[in-house]
């Protein structure tokens, strides 16, 4: 656990189309995480197949890739204490019907195939995803509020 742990968070096409971008960014900002990379992107099929390579044998894989290609996505890297695990908690369970109210999916989604957002599931995968989505590199700066977030 470190204050510089990074997680890759992505707002999926349904989240963009439903106007949830500002709300999702605000949740991570207000929690105390530091935004170190952000862009709107329309990924290719090949790029998405790399991102979801671990799921390629699943029956829903073609549908998942099609869904993720249905519009632009917002790509972000957030940094902070236990960012990967806390990010997953903030997203909620993969199936929105099992997501607690107060989580992003628990507040805004009903079905697993339209679950609004992605978050890295391990520190190792987080680093791979940051490199895959931000080959240009991420930003380094000191967050002025840091001293009011960490003891």
Instruction: Rule CB under 6 A: choose which of 2, 60, 139, 150 binds ligand ADP.
Output: 60
Minimum CB distance to ligand ADP smaller for 64 or for 74: 64
Q: Give yes or no for a contact between 105 and 96, defined as CB atoms under 8 angstroms apart.
A: yes
Q: Is residue 94 at the binding interface for ligand ADP, with CB under 6 A as the rule? A: yes
Site string for ligand ADP, 6-45 (x = CB under 6 A): ----------------------------------------
Residue 28, marked binder: no
- Residue from 62, 71, 102, 113 that binds ligand ADP (CB under 6 A)? 113
**By the rule CB under 6 A, 150 interacts with ligand ADP:** no
- Of positions 27, 34, 51, 118, contacts ligand ADP by CB under 6 A: 118
Active centre residues (catalytic): 118
């Amino acid at each position: 656990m470190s204050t510089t742990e990074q997680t890759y968070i992505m707002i999926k096409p349904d989240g963009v189309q439903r106007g949830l971008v500002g709300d999702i960014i605000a949740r991570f900002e207000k929690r105390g995480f530091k935004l170190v990379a952000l862009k709107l992107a329309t990924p290719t099929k090949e790029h998405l197949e790399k991102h979801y390579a671990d799921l390629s044998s699943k029956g829903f894989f073609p549908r998942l890739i099609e869904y993720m290609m249905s519009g632009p996505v917002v790509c972000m890297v957030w940094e902070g204490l236990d960012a990967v695990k806390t990010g997953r908690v903030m997203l909620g369970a993969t199936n929105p019907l099992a997501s607690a109210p107060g989580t992003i999916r628990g507040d805004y989604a009903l079905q697993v195939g339209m679950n609004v957002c992605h978050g890295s599931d391990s520190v190792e995968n987080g680093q791979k995803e940051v490199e895959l989505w931000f080959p240009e590199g991420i930003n380094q700066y000191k967050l002025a509020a840091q001293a009011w977030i960490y003891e």
